[in-house]
Amino acid sequence: MHGYHKQKDEHLKRLRRIEGQIRGLQRMVDEDTYCIDILTQVSASTKALQSFALQLLEEHLRHCVADAALKGGDEIDAKVEEATKAIARMMRT
């Protein structure tokens, strides 16, 4: 079971809200909304996705990495490396 399993419904609700923001952006472009207003909404959507990603990462660390630490051995090193790479990808955006 993945670390986010307990909050799955909350995550799906949040992602649907973000999806609505993206649809709103499409509507804004279709309706020739002022550029700065669209950029403001792009920023809000981006922050919403980043916030979601951070929450998911925290759950991964608390569940998957912590579980690997209890098991010990090479698994903890693999999970830490995996998390580190995920963080690096998030920082590039």
Average pLDDT over residues 62-80: 90
Q: Which residue has the tokens 């002022």?
A: 34
DSSP-H helix ranges across 1-93 = 8-30, 35-60, 66-71, 74-92
**pLDDT tens digits for range 7-54:** 899 999 999 999 999 999 999 999 999 999 999 999 999 999 999 999
**pTM assigned to the model:** 0.83
- Take residue 44 and report the two structure tokens written for it: 């809000």
| Most confident range, picked from 29-33, 54-58, 87-91 | 29-33
Q: What is the DSSP letter of 6?
A: G
Collapsing DSSP states into helix, strand and coil, what is residue 33? coil
Average pLDDT over residues 73-83: 91
Is residue 57 scored above 80 in pLDDT? yes
pLDDT for 2 equals 78
